[in-house]
Amino acid sequence: MDRKTIDQFRLALFGRMVMGVSHEVDNHLSVVLGFAELLQVLGVEEKKSLGGAGKILSAGEKIAAIIKQFSHYVRPHAPAAEPFSISAVLSEIVLFSRYDLGRGNVTLVMPSTEGAGRMRGDNRDYALALLAALLNGAEAMAARGGALTVGATVKEGFCQVTVADQGTGIPQNIMPRIFEEGFTTKSESLHSGMGLPVARHIVSGMGGDITVENLTGRGCLATLRVPAI
């Protein structure tokens, strides 16, 4: 898989998420506008004015963070091998992906990232692999909802991130093909069948691996393992 393929998938994936980012920004922008109008009405009532100014500042900072992180991770780039932490990547991508991950009555359950570890590689590429796994899990539950549970730990010298969904699982006749480029069971044009293949290519390039398995009873578990530093 060449770099052009990865960047094409990156732009397509983030393009799907633009409406979700817009929704998140709009939520905080409504706070800015609401309290700005309130300040105009309050005039010289100092205590209430200060409270409103604080709300505006907080909402403005959240908008700036969402746009900054989305712009950082969407931009095509030459990969760089640098140390980074799982906790930083998780917290940053959730800023702009929470709306997309929560569609269809899906609840995102985030881990405590203490002890989640550090790895070496390109953090934007790793985030792309992780987003692919997260969105796959969320989409598997779109019909009836459920919990999308993320785990992060260091185990046997590897930073290990798990994504567990409560969907219907993967049929056994399809399982051997899930890492095949272009293979998808979804009919919508937004789905290219490149998520898991790109994720495997990225994680393998970092000296790790990705596995996907059905859970007993209900759901599926994706595990991304990369050497810890």
Residue-wise pLDDT tens for the chain (229 aa)? 899 999 999 999 999 898 888 888 888 888 887 877 777 666 656 666 667 777 787 888 889 899 999 999 999 999 999 999 999 999 999 999 999 999 889 999 997 767 679 999 999 999 999 999 999 999 999 878 999 999 999 999 999 999 999 999 999 999 999 999 988 877 665 677 899 999 999 999 999 999 999 998 889 999 999 999 9
Query: How far is it, in rounded angstroms, from Cα 229 to Cα 227?
Result: 7
- pLDDT value for 32: 81
Query: How far is it, in rounded angstroms, from Cα 141 to Cα 187?
Result: 16
Residue 217 structure tokens: 């009873």
- pLDDT value for 133: 96
- pLDDT value for 175: 94
- pLDDT value for 11: 93
| 3-state DSSP assignment of residue 78 | coil
| 3-state DSSP assignment of residue 122 | coil
- Measured between its terminal Cα atoms, the distance across the chain in Å is 26
Q: Domain spans of the chain?
A: 79-227
Place of tokens 């070496």: 120
- pLDDT value for 8: 93
What Å distances lie between residue 228 and 80, 87, 108, 223, 224, CA to CA?
17, 13, 25, 15, 12
What phi, psi does 97 have (nearest 5°)?
A: -110, -5
Q: What angle do CA 79, 83, 88 make, to 5 degrees?
A: 95
Please name the fold of domain 79-227.
Answer: Heat Shock Protein 90 (3.30.565)
- pLDDT value for 91: 92
- pLDDT value for 46: 61
Q: What angle do CA 215, 219, 222 make, to 5 degrees?
A: 70
